[in-house]
């Protein structure tokens, strides 16, 4: 009996009926399918006014190894090999700030075109809210895509997105007021608070675009790139300032979805 195509992002899985699927390609077509998925993803991002993601060799290696492992072992899931997406990309040499993963498989004997197989995977992810969220994340910059099969009937696809550690957002905040201030930072559904003494510089490294706000203040600053800020009598301002005493803090947020 023909199995359906299953698509997952971490624990979220849905199935596409086999009747919607075309037939399978040769290995040479699989290479083209991978390229087409990247193209389709960037076309989708462009439709939403987002920059294209570039292909990264380390993410590609991690995607190829995991897709190949699932195909060889006939096992499926984000943790099928006993590792997390973050652990797999790290072992491939990718120093990540953020990593996200979409996976899928489909089984259907016969012959397909590059476009039909790419659409099964890319189109399925686009139609699934959690996968769509990964594809439209405004903080990812790089990608790696792989498709693998052992029998030319069942195909496994892996799509990785990453933001490298080198692209972390550097935030430098100088408290020039005479008061100890509490800074709240909200990003990706999380909230952190940091105490900043007077005449002190705090340096933060963030992986996601963030909203910064002094506790008990209604004013906030949205940050999507490295920036220098100062705290004065008028609150939090987008102005660089030189430190008197420096205190460093790591405020890094990581995702392994």
| Same domain, yes or no: 63 and 186 | no
Tokens 């009937």, located at residue: 153
What DSSP string runs through 26-93?
Answer: -HHHHHHHHHHHHHHHHHHHHHTT-PPPEE-HHHHHHHHHHHHHHHHHT--STTTTS--HHHHHHHTT
Per-residue pLDDT tens listing for the chain (257 residues): 334 455 554 433 233 333 333 334 445 888 999 999 999 999 999 999 999 999 999 999 999 999 999 999 999 999 999 999 999 999 999 999 999 999 999 987 567 788 888 999 999 999 999 999 999 999 999 999 999 988 888 899 999 999 999 999 999 999 999 999 999 999 988 899 999 999 999 999 999 999 999 998 888 999 999 999 999 988 999 864 444 444 443 333 333 33
* Tokens coding 149: 């099969």
CA-based end-to-end distance of the chain: 32
How many structural domains are present in the chain?
2
| Same domain, yes or no: 204 and 190 | yes
Residues 206 and 167: beta-carbon distance below 8 Å = no
| Same domain, yes or no: 60 and 79 | yes
Distance of alpha carbon 133 from alpha carbon 149, whole angstroms: 27
Residue 224 belongs to what domain range? 168-238
| Same domain, yes or no: 194 and 67 | no
Residues 199/205/207/210 CA torsion (nearest 10 deg): 0
CATH code of the domain covering residue 42: 3.40.33.10
| Same domain, yes or no: 119 and 34 | yes
Distance of alpha carbon 92 from alpha carbon 207, whole angstroms: 20
| Same domain, yes or no: 192 and 113 | no
Question: CB-based contacts of 124: which residues, under 8 Å, 6+ apart?
Answer: 5, 7, 14, 16, 104, 131
| Same domain, yes or no: 210 and 88 | no
In a domain, 79, yes or no: yes
In a domain, 249, yes or no: no
């Amino acid at each position: 009996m023909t199995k359906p195509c299953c698509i997952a992002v971490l624990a979220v899985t849905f199935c596409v009926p086999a009747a919607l699927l075309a037939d399978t390609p040769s290995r040479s077509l699989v290479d083209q399918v991978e390229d087409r998925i990247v193209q389709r993803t960037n076309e989708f991002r462009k439709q939403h006014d987002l920059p294209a993601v570039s292909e990264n060799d380390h993410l590609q290696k991690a995607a190829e190894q995991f897709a190949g492992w699932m195909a060889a072992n006939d096992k499926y899931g984000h943790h099928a090999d006993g590792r997390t997406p973050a652990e797999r990309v790290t072992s491939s040499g990718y120093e990540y700030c953020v990593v996200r993963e979409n996976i899928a498989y489909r089984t259907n004997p016969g012959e397909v075109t590059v476009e039909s197989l790419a659409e099964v995977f890319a189109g399925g992810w686009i139609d699934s809210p959690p996968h769509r969220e990964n594809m439209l994340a405004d903080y990812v910059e790089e990608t790696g895509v792989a498709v693998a099969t052992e029998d030319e009937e069942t195909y496994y696809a892996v799509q990785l997105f990453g933001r490298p550690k080198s692209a972390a957002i550097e935030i430098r905040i100088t408290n020039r007021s005479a008061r100890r201030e509490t800074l709240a930072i909200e990003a990706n559904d999380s909230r952190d608070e940091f105490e900043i003494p007077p005449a002190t510089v705090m340096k933060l490294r963030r992986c996601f675009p963030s909203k910064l706000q002094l506790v008990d203040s209604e004013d906030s600053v949205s940050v999507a790139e490295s920036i220098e800020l100062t705290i004065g009598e008028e609150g939090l301002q987008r102005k660089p300032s030189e430190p008197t005493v420096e205190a460093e803090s790591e405020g890094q947020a990581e995702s392994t979805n």
